[in-house]
Structure 1
Amino acid sequence: MGMSDQFKDKAQELKEQAEKAMGGAKDKAQERGQQARERGQQAREQGQERGQQAREQAEDRGRQARDDADERFSR
């Protein structure tokens, strides 16, 4: 095996290692992206739930205030 062949073999080996490393990094990046999307979805859902709870509480307070006012004026 000549020196030229050794360089070619080493170059091929390094190329394969680089491709493998890049593929692993890409997989990790995709996984982190998916996790970020899932966290965003969870935050959105929690925000919607909190908003709904706040609306319901406001409606309850409004009803209670209206009932209290009706009771005071009906006396």
Structure 2
Amino acid sequence: MGMKDKFQDQAGQRQQQANDKTGESREKAGQRSSQQRERSSQQRDRARQDIDDTRDEMEDRFNQDYDA
């Protein structure tokens, strides 16, 4: 194997490693993105539930005040 071939092989290997790492990074970013969407969806659901609970409490208090 000549010196030129040796360096071309190393360059090819490094290029492949870089491509592999890029693919892994994209995969991880996609996973993080989906987790963030899921978390924000859960937060919105909790906020809606809190609003509904508060509305129900206020309505109950109103009814108690005017029932007495």
What range describes the TM-score normalised by the shorter chain of this pair? over 0.9
Offset from partner CA, 1:9-50 (integer Å, 9 cap, x none): 110000000100111111011101110110100010011011
Structure 1 runs, 4 residues or longer, greater than 2 Å off: none
Which protein shows a greater Rg? 1
CA RMSD of aligned residues (A): 0.7
- With normalisation by structure 2, the TM-score equals 0.94
Distance in structure 1 (CA, Å) of the matches to 2:27 and 2:66: 58
Identical residues among aligned pairs (%): 37
- With normalisation by structure 1, the TM-score equals 0.86
| Structure 1: unaligned runs, 5 residues or longer | 69-75
